């Protein structure tokens, strides 16, 4: 009897010890991203899948409004708090590295040669030498949204494939009141939205130019190509019969969503907000080609990185989590949930995805997309806004305003890289 009780006690101790050991082995890591419904939903699914495959790791997600996000991250990590894996816009990479907020991805788990081969080329902007600092689950590109109902009313049978056809369609779609005021734009315009990307990486290149040299450290659009691209763009709202208006309904995307714009250039991230909009029947097509069929596009992305806070077992868990959220499975889930494009051709260029009526034009655009390496995206965007304002509001000559913008941006780049 005593022997039997002893056995039960020992068995109980063994069971308790095992439970304690399991608890000791468990590790919890934090993941931070900015708040956007679809992104949160997608990440919840990824975390659930990851935890099921890794029961010894718990991932806690925290999200903040976009306006507060960078401030929260910058304050938390130096204090040894906050995320172990963090989401950041690719254009912030240099700032995060300089502030020692993130650490390079381990070469054994993320060898540069493999990433170069498996991901779309624009992701190489995240590489420094032989090491990657961050990787995306999804990428973005631009495409032309069009209002199918307005196209039918205007007698336009198919979306434009060239810039010439774009202008022709825009003229047919533009409406004016008795006083000549535009009540419906043929195409939206505004450098504050996505047009500064379209102008830089799209139009300048389609007119035969290259917007920057020396790995985006030298401005190169103050040229005949840059001037031709600016002339095309400003003619949308400044010729005798404009087909657009800067500030129409405040925001370009708002005008299109309200059914007051025939066409609108925007990123793949806009798909989710347009889906389900009452009364709006829309389609999407690749950006129109330019001279001699030249195509060009802009690609951006949010990336995930391991923070300098992650150490020891948290670091090991963070590496595992990074491996999963950059996997093919994760990219397909993100596409289905958020509408943002897979960062790998192995997922994006499947027959189903590349030929999808909605996602397809954006995915195909990745084949000829360029990623601007910003030193200060908001500052560089503002210079494009001011370039157009000088022409529109002050009547400045296009070439003069272009030269001022180029000089100001070069100064911004020089100051940034000299530091």
Distance of CA 382 to the CA centre of its chain: 18
For tokens 């590109």, what's the residue?
141
pLDDT tens for 138-165 read: 999 999 999 999 999 999 999 999 999 9
**Residue 214 placed within a domain:** yes
Taking the C-alpha atoms of residue 33 and residue 182, their distance in angstroms, rounded to an integer, is 40
Taking the C-alpha atoms of residue 361 and residue 57, their distance in angstroms, rounded to an integer, is 38
**Residue 135 placed within a domain:** yes
CATH number at residue 99: 3.40.190.10
Residues 261 and 389 in one domain: yes
Among 359, 394, 409, give the residue marking a domain's end.
359
Q: What is the pLDDT of residue 235?
A: 97
Q: What is the pLDDT of residue 18?
A: 39
The two structure tokens encoding residue 1: 């009897």
**What dihedral do alpha carbons 369, 372, 373, 378 form, nearest 10°?**
-140
Pick left, alpha or beta for residue 247 (phi over 0 → left; psi -120 to 50 → alpha; otherwise beta): left
Residues 60 and 121 in one domain: yes
Residues 209 and 182 in one domain: yes
Half-sphere exposure (Cβ direction) of 170: Cα atoms closer than 13 Å = 28
**Residue 44 placed within a domain:** yes
**Residue 21 placed within a domain:** no
Half-sphere exposure (Cβ direction) of 368: Cα atoms closer than 13 Å = 20
**Residue 4 placed within a domain:** no
Sign of the CA dihedral 214, 218, 302, 255?
negative
Residues 34 and 163 in one domain: no
User: What is the per-residue DSSP string for 54-110?
Assistant: -TTEEEEEEEE-HHHHHHHHHHHGGGT-S-SEEEEEGGGHHHHHHTT-EEPPPTTTS
Residues 154 and 204 in one domain: yes
Distance of CA 238 to the CA centre of its chain: 30
The two structure tokens encoding residue 299: 């690609």
Residues 229 and 269 in one domain: yes
> Domain count of the chain?
2
Cα 154 to Cα 157, 171, 389: the distances in Å are 9, 10, 31
Taking the C-alpha atoms of residue 185 and residue 238, their distance in angstroms, rounded to an integer, is 13
Residues 294 and 309 in one domain: no
The two structure tokens encoding residue 408: 């100001």
Q: What is the pLDDT of residue 25?
A: 65
The two structure tokens encoding residue 178: 């008795």
Residues 258 and 294 in one domain: yes
Q: What is the pLDDT along the chain (419 residues), one digit of tens a residue?
A: 333 333 433 334 333 333 334 444 689 999 999 998 889 999 999 999 999 999 999 999 999 999 999 999 999 999 999 999 999 999 889 889 999 999 999 999 999 999 999 999 889 989 998 899 999 999 999 999 999 999 999 999 999 999 999 999 999 999 999 999 999 999 999 999 999 999 999 999 999 999 999 989 999 999 999 999 999 999 999 999 999 999 999 999 999 999 999 999 999 888 878 887 889 999 999 999 998 999 999 999 999 999 999 999 999 999 999 999 999 999 999 999 888 899 999 999 999 999 999 999 999 999 899 999 888 888 999 999 999 999 999 999 999 999 999 999 999 999 998 97
**Residue 11 placed within a domain:** no
Taking the C-alpha atoms of residue 391 and residue 230, their distance in angstroms, rounded to an integer, is 10
Residues 115 and 181 in one domain: no
Residues 246 and 147 in one domain: yes
**Residue 15 placed within a domain:** no
Cα 359 to Cα 39, 163, 188, 334, 335: the distances in Å are 17, 22, 21, 12, 9
Residue-range definition of the domain harbouring residue 322:
26-139+300-359
**Residue 5 placed within a domain:** no
**Residue 150: strand, helix, or coil:** helix
Contact 82, 314 (CB under 8 A): no
Taking the C-alpha atoms of residue 72 and residue 132, their distance in angstroms, rounded to an integer, is 24
Residues 35 and 122 in one domain: yes
């Amino acid at each position: 009897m005593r022997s039997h009780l002893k056995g039960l006690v020992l068995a109980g101790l063994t069971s308790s010890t095992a439970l304690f050991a399991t608890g000791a082995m468990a590790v919890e890591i934090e993941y931070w991203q900015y708040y956007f419904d679809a992104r949160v939903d997608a990440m919840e699914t990824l975390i659930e899948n990851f935890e099921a495959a890794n029961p010894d790791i718990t991932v806690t997600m925290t999200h903040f409004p976009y306006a507060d996000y960078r401030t929260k991250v910058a304050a938390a990590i130096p204090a040894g708090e906050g995320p172990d894996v963090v989401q950041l816009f690719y254009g912030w990479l240099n700032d995060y590295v300089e502030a020692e907020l993130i650490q390079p991805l381990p070469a054994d788990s993320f060898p540069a040669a493999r990433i170069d081969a498996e991901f779309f080329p624009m992701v190489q902007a995240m590489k420094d030498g032989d090491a990657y600092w961050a990787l995306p689950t999804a990428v973005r590109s631009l495409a032309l949204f069009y209002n199918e109902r307005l196209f039918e009313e205007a007698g336009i049978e198919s979306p434009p494939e060239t810039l010439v056809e774009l202008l022709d369609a825009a003229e047919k779609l533009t409406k004016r009141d008795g006083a000549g005021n535009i009540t419906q734009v043929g195409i939206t315009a505004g450098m504050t939205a996505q047009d500064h990307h379209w102008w830089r990486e799209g139009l300048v290149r389609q007119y035969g130019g290259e917007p920057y040299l020396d790995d985006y450290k030298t401005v190169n659009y103050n040229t005949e190509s840059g001037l031709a691209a600016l002339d095309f763009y400003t003619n949308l709202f400044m010729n005798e019969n404009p087909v657009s208006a800067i500030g129409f309904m405040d925001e370009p995307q708002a005008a299109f969503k309200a059914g007051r714009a025939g066409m609108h250039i925007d990123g793949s991230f806009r798909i989710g907000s347009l889906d389900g909009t009452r009364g709006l029947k829309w389609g999407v097509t690749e950006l129109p080609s330019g001279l001699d069929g030249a195509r060009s596009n802009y690609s951006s992305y949010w990336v995930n990185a391991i923070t300098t806070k992650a150490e020891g077992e948290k670091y090991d868990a963070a590496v595992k989590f990074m491996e999963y959220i950059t996997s093919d499975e994760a990219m397909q889930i993100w596409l289905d949930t958020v509408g943002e494009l897979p960062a790998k051709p192995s997922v994006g260029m499947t027959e189903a995805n590349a030929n999808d009526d909605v996602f397809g034009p954006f995915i195909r655009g990745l084949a000829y997309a360029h990623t601007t390496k910003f030193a200060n995206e908001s500052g560089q965007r503002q210079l494009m806004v001011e370039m157009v304002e000088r022409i529109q509001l002050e009547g400045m000559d296009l070439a003069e305003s272009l030269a001022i913008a180029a000089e100001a941006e070069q100064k911004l780049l020089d100051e940034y890289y000299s530091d």
